[in-house]
Structure formats: structure tokens, C-alpha cells
Amino acid sequence: MTPNTSFSIKSVESIHLAFRNSASYWESYRANEGDRLTERFEFKQGWQTVYARYIETPLVIVTLSDGSVGWGEANAGIGPEVVCLIVTELIGQMIEGQEYENPAALWDFLYDTQRGRGYSSGYWLDALAAIDIAVWDAIGKREQSPVAALLAPDPRAGFDVYLSGVRRSTLEERVEHVNRWIDTGLKGAKIFLTGDVEAGTNELDGLMQGAPGLEQWMVDTLWMCTHESAELGKEEYGKRNVRFFECPLQPEDLDGHRELVAKPGAKIALGEHFRSRYQMESWVRQPRALDVFQPDIGRTGFTDYMLQMEIAARAGIPTTPHMGSGVSVFQAATLQCAAVAPPEYLQEFQGGLSDRLEQASDTAWKYADGGFRLPDRPGIGVEIDESQLEQFIVKK
């Protein structure tokens, strides 16, 4: 029977959370190499992207007219208060009291409201993603179904994951860390490298030698390669059987990525910076600019993720969701999407961030034996105890 995904919205709320007493996204990884810190932000030597000094995130709560409550979260670690402002002060007035045939109708409506003004990415789309996740969570609870089973008729019962980042200060500590994860059944890990290919291959060689039991390695240079170093990195990492080489060039460089994909070496993976199908379509057309598609659910939501995955599949490109720096709501949403993704690649897992909301969050997603099994809990599989959030809420 086709599930009922129609709904009307009673209310929309947002909450800015900050975990000031916990470790940063980077933890102790490559510390003291010329890093610059501010009150909220950190700049890591060798990378251009700003990161939050401690984890911050926007949560969204949607209540449907029948009383069903859903939780959503955007991947917006920098400036989550912007997402909260958009949700509470703008979008709430547009959608509260309105009825929608399905979540896609809501997503299209909100996209259309600002597309003529050029708001086709950034915080506006992040807010849409958080609301979309919350709506699907509420519908799943109402229909007594995991979201994955609403998105696809036959979701995967289980899947293996790879560790996102080996965040320890020294190579010796990183090797020890990987080997401890291998003992849990982990099959893969991704390391973050700069555009310095010689240093990158030395790091990778040291890790591979120190942790020979790991089956798969992935490399992410966070957009820091030149065209020349990207081509060299693709070749060298390919020689080492790296599963994929992620984000080699600047995220706007469509032509550069197309040229790089045609070169010999490791497969090229990217996609986390796309918010919508309209952004990613040109990247998968021939000549394509990537081999592995990595949409971020905290930026696409469930609705557009499914469309983006379909577009990539028609181009012969497999999808494996990216997992950024969110807490349990975002992580659960990503894992629901992994359950409907093709099986070619391991699913990314933020092992160091999975317990940041542990006191207030009851998640049915339990890591074991190198992966996860799809829980039978309705919605995304997470219940939030609002009474335990107070200590993390940033007041206006």
C-alpha cells in the first residue's frame, strides 16, 4: 500500500545548540601547526575552510496538525543562528497552517519563494533541508514507519561504514586509533590531507603500513589542490588503491574536475557543497566531473536527496551520502539515506561526533561490527528529550 505522505503544519520552531565544553570537530588532529583560533572559529594550517571551534548546530521541530512531531537538523556548523532566524522569522509564517500533498510540494514551494531572488543555495537551502528532515520524521512517526521505508520500497537492512577522519596528533597515535577501530569490525577510513601530495602520500603510506588490516582508504583534500597537484595526487593515490579522492579542486571548478576525471588514477568524489538538483545536474552530464556522488543530507534534506541520487544513477554514477558535523538528528537522517543508497561504497560515519547529544538523545542507530542495521523505530530513529537540551541552547 502506498504510504500517506500528505500533511499540514501546525508549527515550526528552531533551536541553536552549542557544545562549548566538548572537543572541536577536529579534536586534537594536527594541532599546533600554525592554527588560528577565535572565540568561535578555527583555521587549520593548510586548509582554507573555517571550522567551528566547538560543535554548533541548528535543530528544527515541526509539529503537524495531527500532533505528530518531527526533528530536523541542517549541516550548518558555521552560523547556525542564521538557519534558526530563517526558520523562525521567515519560513514559519509561510508554511504554518498550510496543507501539502507531500514533502516535495513543500520543498518546491519554499524553493520557488526565493529562486527569483537568487537564493538557490546557502543558508536558505540549509533551512529547507532541516525542515524537510523534520517533516519526514513526523510523517514516519505518524505512519509508524522508518523514513527509509517511505523513501524506497526495499531499503537495505544493514550497511558497513568508514570512519571520517583519523583525528589524533601524531602518526603513531593515528595508527593506534585506526587499529582500535579495526578491532570493532571497521573496514575503511578517510583521511584529510592538504594539497601537498608528497606529505599526503607519506601520511597515507605510514597509516597503511601501521594498520594493514584496514581494507579501504579514502583521501579528502578539502578543495586544496592545484590542477597540477590534483593530477599528481590522483595518480599517486590511485597507485595505493585509494577507494576515492575527495574534493581535490575548488568547488566551483567544473571544467577542472571534468579534466581531472579523465586522467588516470583514483576515482574522484564530491557533492557535499550541492544544495539542490539544479546545482548538481551539470556535474554529472558528459563529460562528467565526478565518479562518486556525495550529497549531504543536512543540505539537501530527504526530498531532494532522492532526486539527486536518481539523476546521478541515470548518469551511471553511484551515490554514497556525505556525513558532516551534525549531531544525532543529522546523523540519523544520513543513515536513513544510506539505507536507500546503492551498495557500491561504504557509508561515511562521524565516530567522534556521534555522542555529542547523548544526554538528550535516544537513538536507535547503534554501531556494531563495522556498520549499522536499519532500526524499526518510526521516523528517523531518534527521540529528543527537550528537557535535557537547555544546557546546550544558545539564548538570543
Same domain? 144 vs 170: no
174 located within any domain? yes
pLDDT attached to residue 32: 62
pLDDT digits (tens, 9 = 90+) for 31-68: 666 789 999 999 988 999 999 988 999 999 999 999 99
Average confidence (pLDDT) over 208-235: 98
Burial zone of 66 (CB within 10 Å; 0-12 exposed, 13-18 middle, 19+ buried)? exposed
Indicate whether 206 belongs to any domain.
yes
Q: What is the CATH number of the domain that holds 64?
A: 3.30.390.10
DSSP state of 196: -
Contact 72, 127 (CB under 8 A): no
For residues 332 and 381, is the Cβ–Cβ distance under 8 A? yes
Angle between helices 297-314 and 103-115 (to 10 degrees): 100
Mean pLDDT of the chain: 95
Asked if 314 and 256 sit in the same domain, the reply is: yes
In a domain, 1, yes or no: no
pLDDT, position 149: 98
| CATH code: domain of residue 185 | 3.20.20.120
Closest by CA to 332, choosing from 293, 364, 300, 309, is 364
Q: Which of residues 149, 166, 193 is at a domain's end?
A: 149
Between strands 292-293 and 268-270, the pairing is parallel
Q: Which of 149, 174, 197 is the last residue of a domain?
A: 149
* DSSP bridge partners of 293: 270, 319
In this model, does residue 179 exceed pLDDT 90? Answer: yes
Say which residue, 25 or 256, is predicted with more confidence.
256
**CA-based end-to-end distance of the chain:** 46
240: which 3 cell numbers? 595505493
Task: Give the phi and the psi of residue 9 in degrees, each rounded to 5.
Answer: -105, 125
**128 shares its domain with 212:** no
Co-location of 70 and 211 in the same domain: no
* Mean pLDDT value of segment 159-166: 96
HEC sequence for 204-233: HHHHHHHCCCCCEEEEECCCCCCHHHHHHH
CB distance 162 to 190 below 8 Å: yes
Which residues lie across from 100 on neighbouring strands?
Answer: 7
- Let me know if residue 390 belongs to a domain: no
pLDDT, position 2: 82
pLDDT at 358 over 90: no
Same domain, 119 and 87: yes
Domain termination site, one of 123, 149, 175: 149
Cα(108)–Cα(303) distance, integer angstroms:
10
357 neighbors 386 (Cβ within 8 angstroms): no
Number of alpha carbons in the 13 Å side-chain half-sphere of residue 98: 17
Could you identify the residue written with the cell 538528550? 360
User: How far is Cα 200 from Cα 42, in angstroms, rounded to an integer?
Assistant: 22
Q: What is the DSSP string of 17-81?
A: EE-TTS--TTTTTTTTSS-EE-SSEEE-TT---EEESS-EEEEEEEEETTS-EEEEE----S-HH
- Domain that includes residue 216, residue range: 153-380
pLDDT for residue 355 is more than 80: no
Predicted local confidence at residue 24, as pLDDT: 65
In degrees rounded to 5, what are phi and psi of residue 162? Answer: -120, 150
**Residue 307 grid coordinates:** 532526486
How many domains in the chain? 2
- Within this chain, do residues 337 and 369 fall inside the same structural domain, yes or no? yes
392 within some domain = no
Mean pLDDT confidence for 147-159: 97
